[in-house]
Amino acid sequence: MRRGGLKITGQHLPKNKRPKEPGENRIKPTNKKVKPKIPKIKDRDSADSTAKTQSIMMQVLDKGRFQKPAATLSLLAGQSVELRCKGSRIGWSYPAYLDTFKDSRISVKQNERYGQLTLVNSTSADTGEFSCWGQLCSGYICRKDETKTGSTYIFFTEKGELFVPSPSYFDVVYLNPDRQAVVPCRVTVLSAKVTLHREFPAKEIPANGTDIVYDMKRGFVYLQPHSEHQGVVYCRAEAGGRSQISVKYQLLYVAVPSGPPSTTILASSNKVKSGDDVSVLCTVLGEPDVEVEFTWIFPGQKDERPVTIQDTWRLIHRGLGHTTRLSQSVITVEDFETIDAGYYICTAQNLQGQTTVATTVEFS
């Protein structure tokens, strides 16, 4: 149509479309499904559990310089070491050799803002791990802050000493079927090549990574000890064109699994006449290197009746190379009286727990 010389053309509506009514919402409807966005909220507990460990250890160098120590350090014997760990309450761990002899060469101090460990006149025997950690305390009760720790393993190299010195020329290693065993031949030179050898029949024992592995911080680790591993072994180290043989280790297989003491009790007689003597024996069969403590409760105890108590232990071999520790405690009563009649109770205790057994002794 033309109006005033201007041509106006009507717009054709698309198919399936209808004209909008006045006031109708002009937002285009859609059938597309939209997944609502939910804001992510950090879980405080999960954030804490995955918190990164913060290294708090620094090594003090000459002229007041500091550096974070590497995982391993190699120093010459005789050098001094000063380590600092940031925090107002710091716990320390260092080679047990220094603690056993209460060595005056090492000192640990707590300053206002850091803990300080100093070792002077170092020797190859000081080789080992030095570590620190922050402590979270409530009154006198403290716990380790796992997020604030620091550690370094230091090799103290000494001329003529490839192995960390041992206090004896012969040592015993017990092979327990339910836990790892370690032949502790550690070296003082990081680059040293170390091998394990059986004395008889003479041969090298391969550290195949399945049964036996070598850990420079611990020695040769028997992952699953069994009776075939027993015997006398030693280690050989090579470094810088030099070689050295370690002390010898006697490997003994343990027949008794770990746990509370396996305890029995037996009286020399359960019916005793007046004036006779009687003994009650408490026996424990256990691991060779696990000590057992005995305590007794007996009828005449309240009346302060004099008795004799004797504790002994020895290693016994039970065939097939199995070794067991036999621990015994004997209580003896002389000139038996009526007040001595009743229950004799023995309690045997080790690090894994305790066992109590009892027997009666009657007046005949």
**Tens-level pLDDT at each residue, the chain (364 residues):** 444 444 433 444 444 445 555 544 444 444 545 455 544 544 444 444 445 667 899 999 987 799 999 999 999 999 999 999 999 999 999 988 787 667 789 999 999 999 999 999 999 999 999 999 999 988 888 889 999 999 999 999 998 899 998 877 888 888 888 889 999 999 999 999 999 999 888 999 999 888 899 999 999 999 989 888 888 999 999 998 899 999 999 898 876 667 888 899 999 999 999 999 999 999 998 888 889 999 999 999 998 999 999 999 988 765 545 677 889 999 999 999 999 999 999 999 998 899 999 999 998 8
SS3 content of the chain, % helix, strand, coil (to 5): 5, 50, 45
Read off the pTM: 0.61
Provide the residue type at 3 as one letter.
R
* Burial label, 164 (beta-carbon count in 10 A; 0-12, 13-18, 19+): buried
Q: How far apart are CA 212 and CA 226, in angstroms?
A: 12
Residue corresponding to tokens 């285009």 = 28
CA 153, 136, 145 angle in degrees (round to 5)?
40
**Complete DSSP assignment for 35-76:** PPP------HHHHHHTPPPEE-EEEE-GGG-EEPPPSEEEEE
- The beta-carbon contacts of 94-102 under 8 Å, at least 24 apart in sequence, are 94/119, 94/128, 94/129, 94/130, 94/131, 95/125, 95/126, 95/127, 95/128, 95/129, 95/130, 96/128, 97/125, 97/126, 97/128, 98/126
Cα–chain-centroid distance for residue 255?
23
Q: How many CB atoms lie within 10 A of CB 345?
A: 18
| Residues in CB range of 82: below 8 A, 6 or more apart | 59, 60, 116, 117, 118, 119
Q: Tokens for 144?
A: 């380790």
List of domains in the chain = 57-157 (2.60.40.10), 170-254 (2.60.40.10), 262-363 (2.60.40.10)
